[in-house]
Structure 1
Amino acid sequence: MDARQNTQVHGERGGQARGALGRYGETLAARRLTQSGMTVLARNWRCGRTGEIDIVARDGDALVVCEVKTRRADSFQHPMAAITPAKASRLRGLAERWLQEHGGAPPGGVRIDLVGVLLPRRGAPVVEHVRGVA
């Protein structure tokens, strides 16, 4: 195996680990949203090549598009720093596509939330839900 092949194998393992970490965080986020009275309508809703909404939920008469970011405690960036202007714009576009495919805007409008999941080396995960980030 040459160096390039070795790098590729390690990269795939890293991607699998990140995928598992992300799925775990999304499960914790969905649980938190449900515990706060929301109804989860979809998880990992894909819109072709445009992107994916991690969680689509209903909060009363509002539709909530929820971005979930999961980080280990030793990570450089806190999960709540994840919503850049470009990311917010993409999420708004995805929310519009969801509404087109699922019957239009609800009476309570659309909100974009962020759930940050921080996984410490020891102890329980810290799940933080911020409403209306974009």
Structure 2
Amino acid sequence: MAAKDDLGRSGEARAVAHLGDRGYSILDRNWRCPAGEVDIVASHRGMLCVVEVKTRTSLRYGHPFEALDERKVGRLWRLAHAWIEAHPGLAVHSRVRLEAIGIVGADPRTGTLEHLVDLR
């Protein structure tokens, strides 16, 4: 297993804990379809939240949120709709929101965490 994969998994575990501490209910993790992968799908206050997690050991190659360009956000919207179609029983929410969690630090368990609640 590559170190990058371990870093990503550790960052996602921290993101799940962060969301849980804030009252989110995790519905799915690492959901895949032919169009790609959704890191986390959660429910929060009647909202279906699709959460992208970006973990970096440093800012050497830029802030994690810099990877969330217009093309990536469009892809996340398409994946959100694909998840809803694949899970009609779970997707009972009337609204969908994209979110992002960025973690920077040598150890994702203690690195700096930022949470963007409404990614457009």
Q: Which residue of structure 2 aligns with residue 7 of structure 1?
A: none
In the TM superposition, residue 106 of structure 1 has moved relative to its aligned partner by 1.1
Match of 1:51 among 36, 40, 52: 36
Question: Residue 35 of structure 1: which of 10, 21, 40 is its match?
Answer: 21
1:112 to 86, 94, 98: 98
SS at match of 1:91: helix
For structure 2, the 5+ residue unaligned runs are none
Residue 130 of structure 1, aligned match among 113, 116, 120:
116
Task: Give me the whole-angstrom Cα distance separating, in 2, the residues matched to 1:27 and 1:38.
Answer: 14
Larger helix percent: 1
Distance 1:94 1:74, change over 3 A: closer
How many Å separate the matches in 2 of 1:74 and 1:93? Answer: 29
Normalising by the residue count of structure 1, what TM-score does the alignment of the two structures yield? 0.81
In structure 1, the gaps of 5 or more residues are 1-12
**Runs of 4+, deviation exceeding 2 Å:** none
**Structure number with higher relative contact order (C-alpha < 8 Å, ≥ 6 residues apart):** 2
| CA root-mean-square deviation | 1.8
1:63 correspondence with 2:48: yes
Partner in structure 2 of residue 87 of structure 1: 72
* Deviation by residue 1:49-97 (Cα, 9 ceiling, x = unmatched): x100000000111100000000012532111212110000100000001
Q: State whether residues 32 and 38 of structure 2, in contact with CA within 8 Å, keep that contact through their aligned partners in structure 1.
A: yes
